[in-house]
């Protein structure tokens, strides 16, 4: 069973109420975010969009009119 909640004033508060017997053993793990885990640990690894993104072969070339406007032409 996976439950979600948030820390408020140093206490884990579940998002949905749950009635479980007193003394039940539970495990609390922090969820990773874009900034890394809640304790400032390692960041997520890239690659989750591998093979799903397409870039044009000339994506890093400036259009001629923009080059001219920026004074980049000889």
Interval 43-69: pLDDT, tens:
677 888 888 998 899 999 999 899 999
In this structure, what are the phi and psi dihedrals at residue 64, rounded to the nearest 5 degrees? -60, -40
The pLDDT value given to residue 47: 86
Instruction: Give a yes or no: residue 6 inside a domain.
Output: yes
Q: Is 64 inside a domain boundary?
A: no
Task: Tell me how far apart the terminal alpha carbons of the chain are, to the nearest angstrom.
Answer: 66
Note whether residue 68 is domain-resident.
no
Residue 46 lies in a domain: no
Mean pLDDT of all residues in the chain?
Answer: 83
Residue 3 domain-assigned (yes or no): yes
For the chain, percent of residues with pLDDT exceeding 90: 20
Domain of residue 22 covers: 1-36
Query: How many separate domains does the chain show?
Result: 1
How many angstroms separate the CA atoms of 48 and 53, rounded? Answer: 11
User: Which stretches of 1-74 are assigned E, i.e. beta strand?
Assistant: 5-8, 11-14
Residue 16 lies in a domain: yes
Q: Is residue 14 part of a domain?
A: yes
Radius of gyration of the chain, Cα coordinates, nearest whole angstrom = 25
Residue 39: what pLDDT?
55
């Amino acid at each position: 069973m996976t439950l979600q909640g948030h820390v408020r004033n140093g206490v884990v508060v579940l998002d949905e109420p749950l009635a479980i017997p007193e003394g039940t053993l539970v495990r609390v793990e922090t969820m990773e975010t874009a900034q890394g885990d809640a304790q400032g640990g390692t960041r997520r690894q890239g690659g989750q969009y591998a093979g799903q993104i397409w870039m044009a072969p000339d994506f890093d070339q400036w259009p001629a009119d923009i080059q001219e406007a920026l004074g980049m032409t000889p």
